[in-house]
Amino acid sequence: MPDPILEVRDLSVTFETARGPVRAVRNVNWHLARGEVLAILGESGSGKSVSASAVMDLIDIPPGRIDSGEILFEGRDLLKMSPKERRKINGPRIAMIFQDPLSHLNPVWTVGWQIEEAMVIHGTGRAEARSKMIELLGKVGLPNPAEAAAKYPHQFSGGQRQRVMIAMALALKPDVLIADEPTTALDVTVQAQILALLEDLQRETGMGLLIITHDLGVVAEIADRCIVMNKGEIVETGTPAQIHNDPQHPYTKKLIAAAPGKGQMSDGGDGRSLLLQMRGATKAYGDVAVLHGIDLDIHAGECVAVVGESGSGKSTVAKLITRLEPASGGTAMWKGEDLFTMPPRRLLEVRREVQMVFQDPTQSLNPRMSVQDIISEAWVIHPDILPRHRWRDRVAELLEQVGLEPDHAHRYPHQFSGGQRQRVAIARALALEPRLIICDEAVSALDVQVQAQVIRLLARLGRELNIAYLFIAHDLPVVRDFADSVVVMKLGRVVEQGPVRQIFDTPRQDYTRNLMAASLDPDPDVQAARRRQRQEMMA
């Protein structure tokens, strides 16, 4: 093994919180060599980002506290250095990029200024920094670098913003680059591009690359070595192939087993009655058309997945069906009536049968309402469903149905974990005994294991209660396991649709094939095959 350039030894970090001290990481050891890609894999709350924050001096003390350990950079302990010395290392020697580049770039300064600043504060002259900045923007693949430099972060797409972040981090050719969930907020195709860019740059400069991620696919795609963290401790270390094919620790085994994309694909249900038939649906905001004639069928009890990159119009389709937005044209027949032109009173009845579950239950559940109130509010609006004296029992029943305890009814949303909150949201949707539930990225924000549980729950409810789903998602492995049929959308048009098996096994359109090839598989062998396929497609 080559000499590590960065080494974390026996690091323990505690955060003081209102509920007492939380030990974020305990006795963590890892090292990173030049030219190596190390991944730290973990779910939310595993402490996977904490040691990187300690490296960058980003832990606020208080409420944080470093209990023990050292962080050796070229043999010198960073934790013993003065803040001024550490600022000389941050940037030129160790650089970092983050998830969600929109909030991590300063909204009021041009991207050119922000990249130049990274150089100027470490002693580069203004003029030199300026020419280097333009060069960097070109190198990370932004068209018209000189023009791009004068723009502000909000004027770029998510992928372009991450490219700007990378240009900024690499400005002074650091020895180590730390990437904290660098592709989590991005589309699959953009994710593949950003990972490829990181890999190219890493090979070119020979820097060490530390990737922090929750995504086994990212590990399989890019890492040389992987550390698995759970509850602040390292449970396993190995190559991605070792971790995936032969996990040792029980936690790792569960994590690998929960990864989506390996289950039996649905063959679709035959002879089900047609629930919703959408024909030629269009939507325009002013002069900007976002949907150009969408045809879509949903049968009773069927799960129809809608996939596509951001901006493809997936969520707009959902908004038209629920009439949260009026359609500009077309029809959507629901039991012989057109949803798009239905009078308001009739619409209220239909809305009862069409419910929604959103991506972020933290935002979509009212924080000041108890679970009892959240679920029974539906019956306040639709009083004919259930007499008031039965509300309490029915809420308890619904909570059990989604795998929660009846006495959870008195709790408030913040007292639940993310997965539990999504269960509450599902119970709320079920309260109206819907025929169709629209899930808009409903499992995207959840950890793999929780995601698998929620998907199993949705599948069971679908079978038992004969509920159909319109499942809007960007995560293809989840779609593969859960959907009966798939609609692929691009820029407001349906590119391809069909049974899930056909779309995944024999996609007909290039766009679908690209989407499949860009999607990451947790299995390093599958992933290696996909890389070859991608390279062939590019060649």
Partner 1 sequence: MGRFIARRTVASAISLAFLVMAVFFLSRLTGDPTDLYLPLDASQEVRDNFRELNGLNDPILLQFAYYLGDMARLDFGTSLRSAEPALAVVLQAFQWTLVLALVTMAFVTVAAVILGSLAAFNVGGVLDRVATFFSLIGASAPDFWLAIVAIVIFSVNFGWLPTSGTGSIWHWILPVSVLFIRPFGLILQVVRGSMINALGSAYVKTARAKGVAPQPIIFTHALRNAMLPVVTVMGDQAAGMLNGAVIVETIFGFPGVGKLMIDSILQRDFAVILAAIMVTAVAIFIMNLLIDLAYALLDPRIRY
Give the binding site for partner 1 (CB under 8 A). 56-58, 84, 86-92, 95-96, 98, 100, 103-109, 117-118, 121-122, 152, 154, 165, 168
Q: In 298-367, which residue ranges form alpha helices assigned H by DSSP?
A: 314-321, 344-353, 361-364
CB of 297 to partner 1, least distance (A): 41
Whole-number minimum distance, CB 143 to partner 1, in Å? 20
Q: Return the H-helix or E-strand segment holding 179.
A: strand 176-180
Cβ at position 99, least distance to partner 1 in Å: 9
Using the minimum distance from each CB to partner 1, give the nearer residue, 106 or 363. 106
* b/e map 293-322, b = 16+ CB within 10 Å: ebebbbbebbbbbbbbbeebbbbbbbbbbb
CA distance 459 to 452: 11
**Amino acid code (one letter) for 307:** V
Single-letter amino acid, residue 259: A
Nearer Cβ to partner 1, position 95 or 495? Answer: 95
Vertex 349 angle, CA 472 and 437, to 5°: 20
If you count them, how many residues does the chain have? 539
The tally of CA atoms less than 13 A away on the side-chain side of residue 219 is 26
Pairwise CA distance, residues 472 & 186, whole Å: 16
What minimum distance in Å lies between the beta carbon of 119 and partner 1? 10
User: 213 or 451, CB closer to partner 1?
Assistant: 213
Selection from 526, 522, 530, 532 nearest residue 226 by Cα: 522
CB of 104 to partner 1, least distance (A): 4
Judged on CB neighbours under 10 Å (0-12, 13-18, 19+), 61 is exposed
Nearest distance in Å: CB 23, partner 1: 22
Shortest approach of partner 1 to residue 1 CB, angstroms?
28
We find the least distance from the C-beta atom of residue 404 to partner 1, in angstroms, to be: 33
Our CB check for partner 1 shows the closer of 108 and 288 to be 108
Q: Kindly tell me which of 137 and 399 has the beta carbon lying closer to partner 1.
A: 137
Judged by beta carbon, residue 172 or residue 241, the one nearer partner 1 is: 172
Looking at the Cβ atoms of 154 and 414, the one nearer to partner 1 is 154
Using only C-alpha atoms, what is the Rg of the chain? Answer: 25
Q: Which CB sits closer to partner 1, 88 or 279?
A: 88
